[in-house]
Structure formats: structure tokens, C-alpha cells
Structure 1
Amino acid sequence: MKLLFDENLSPKLPRLLTIEFPNSLHVRDVGMKGFADEIIWEYARNNNFTVISKDSDFYQRALLYGHPPKLIWLRIGNCNREILLQLITKHKEQIESFSNNSNSILILA
């Protein structure tokens, strides 16, 4: 599963999670820093990424349009990168099974 990390998340996360989620990228990696959500959504759909974000706008978009792409919505407040890493790695199996089911949204808290 390839994850596309939204701008509101650390750009270092894809590199730090390369073993768990190879080929994942941050929006900065593909030159989309500051781009509108709909452009990021289309990029993810066209390139087989799952969007991972703390942004409720992506949640609303996923409810409205379904998938692809799928969305992993991180429902946690402000926190440091280490806490995000722990949350994502703790739910690695759940994330992997999410990629194979029919759900559009996975909420992690």
C-alpha cells in the first residue's frame, strides 16, 4: 500500500516508514505543497495512493465521493512526529487489511 501524506503531516514520515509502507510519499515529494485538496485527491486516485491526513476536508471528500482513493484519517490532536509514527506502526495490520476491503475511510485515533 502506497500512502500519500498530506501537507499537515511531517514530510519525513514516508522516509521513516519506508520499511512498513514502501513507495509512500509526501505531497511535497511530488511538488504539490500548497495545492488544493481536490488536486491532491486526483493525484492520489490516478497514482494508486491512499491519502493519509488529519484534515477533515479529506474526510468530507471521502464521504461524498467514496474511493478511489481511500483515506486514512488521523483523528488525533496536535502531536509530535514520534507519536504519529507509533500510531501508524501500531495499526500497520489494520491499514494493510483496509487496502483490501471495500471501505473508503479508515479512522485512527
Structure 2
Amino acid sequence: MRLIADENISWRLKKLLSDWEILPTNEIRANHRLSDFMIWQFAKTNNYTILTFDEDFCELQNLYSHPPKVIWLRTGNVGTQKIAELLILLKQDINQFLSNDDLGIYEVYLY
């Protein structure tokens, strides 16, 4: 599973999920903020799934379809540790989502 973590997700997630392939966007930018579309293009070109809190990636998918796929964290303001726990809990479901070519967005809720 190759995930690119949007800028609003802490780079510390990579350390908490060391057995996952997570690329924080700060590792691909060159001293400037990447636009959502630039992240979208990078993910598509390099076979990454976008991990984000941002609805804008869902709108990009409505315009351009997938790939890339989007995992949309609709969890509110939670810490990085909680995000890691959720992803671990949902790992099997996420893998099923990623293997289904008909699906483009996986929404994660926290109640």
C-alpha cells in the first residue's frame, strides 16, 4: 500500500506506521507548498493513494476520475496516534478498497 500523506497530516504518521509505505508531501516538495493538483498528479504518476483530510481531492476525483484513489479522513481534529490506530484497524478494508478498480474514494469516519 503506497500512500502519499497530504500536507495537513503530520510526517510523524510515517514513523508510527513504519511497515506501511507512506510518503509525506514535505519529502517531495522543494521549499514550497504543493497545490492539491500537483499532489494529485504526483500520486497518479507514481501509483500512490492520497491520504487526506481535504475534500478538494474528492472534487478532483469527480473531475478526473481515478487513479489516484483517495482515502478521505473525516475524523475531525484528532492526533496522529489516533489516525495511525484507525488505519491499522481498517487495514483489511483499505486493502479491499485499493484492490477494487471500481472504487475511488474511501471515507474514514470517527464516532
TM-score (norm 1): 0.91
| Number of residue pairs the alignment of both structures matches | 107
Equivalences for 1:83-94 in 2 at 5 Å?
83-94=82-93
Determine if the alignment matches structure 1 residue 106 to structure 2 residue 106.
yes
1:61 deviates by 1.1
Distance 1:14 1:97 in 2: 21
Amino acid corresponding to residue 103 of structure 2 in structure 1: N
Equivalences for 1:1-40 in 2 at 5 Å?
1-19=1-19, 21=20, 23-31=21-29, 34-40=33-39
Aligned residues of 2:53 and 2:74 also touching (Cα < 8 A): yes
1:74 deviates by 0.4
Q: Secondary structure at the match of 2:88?
A: helix
Aligned-CA RMSD value: 1.3
Distance 1:11 1:107 in 2: 21
Q: Which residue of 2 aligns with 1:44?
A: 43
Q: Which residue of 2 aligns with 1:71?
A: 70
Aligned residues of 2:16 and 2:81 also touching (Cα < 8 A): no
Q: Which residue of 2 aligns with 1:59?
A: 58
List runs of 5+ in structure 1 lacking aligned partners.
none
**23-32 or 42-51, larger mean C-alpha shift:** 23-32
Distance 1:64 1:75 in 2: 21
1:14 deviates by 1.9
List runs of 5+ in structure 2 lacking aligned partners.
none
Amino acid corresponding to residue 2 of structure 1 in structure 2: R
1:16 deviates by 1.7
1:50 deviates by 0.1
Amino acid corresponding to residue 27 of structure 1 in structure 2: T
